[in-house]
A and B are shown apart, each in its own frame.
Chain A
């Protein structure tokens, strides 16, 4: 399973764009990249998923370069409620299990 590396923590202010980069140097051809958000005492919540290039949904964008060895989660105009831990995961195959790394604790300040 591809191991992921991401910053332990990040600070931001309300209204700013936040970019969290994740390294996954050993990603395999069939693997895809997925990001989750977790608030304290809650289960993780799916944010976005992609295989290559750029994916955008109503809450975030995911940028994946051609070599797919890294990915960047972009949160536009964060608010205080975006304070959470964000996990980058690499998943392979059909219903492969999710192995969580340490995640990035994002703190958004007023």
Chain B
């Protein structure tokens, strides 16, 4: 089945630094990938839709200059949290789909802690 690999699983960084999270579709090509963030005991919130070869589409209220998304190939999308602050600490999850009838596969998530 479809596998989405997300790295790192856990990262701690200092305030003001940038962190890159990778999302790879291992055995399929994904023209579209999605990025979510999740706060403790809350549901997943869609941040943006990553489109291969074009600009990402951001949800309302998500700062595109803060959360840089690059989808340079059909198997890799990256999310860079720039100038991270403690309020950016969260669980970030990516997902991709093989197509409408195959469901969406999610990465294992990245726990970001900004100190």
Chain A residues close to B by CB (< 8 Å)? 32, 34, 36, 41-46, 49, 87, 91, 93-95, 97-103
Contacts and interface: CB of A to CB of B under 8 A. Distances in A.
Contact of A43 (B32, B46, B100, B109): B109
A45 B106 CA distance: 7
Contacts of A93: 100
B67 interface: no
B58 to A, nearest CB: 12
B49 interface: yes
B104 A43 contact: no
B103 A49 contact: yes
A98 B104 contact: yes
Contacts of A95: 31-32, 97, 99-100
Interface residues on B, range: 20 to 34
Nearest to B34: A97
Interface string B44-87: 11100100000000000000000000000000000000000000
A34 B106 CA distance: 14
A100 B104 CA distance: 13
Contacts of B46: 97-100
Contact of A87 (B43, B49, B91): B43
Contact of A94 (B6, B36, B93, B100): B100
Interface string B96-115: 01011101111111010000
Given A46-B103, A100-B44, A101-B43, 20 more contacts: A32-B100, A34-B104, A41-B111, A42-B108, A43-B6, A43-B93, A43-B106, A44-B95, A44-B106, A46-B105, A87-B43, A91-B100, A95-B31, A95-B97, A97-B46, A97-B49, A98-B95, A98-B104, A100-B45, A102-B43
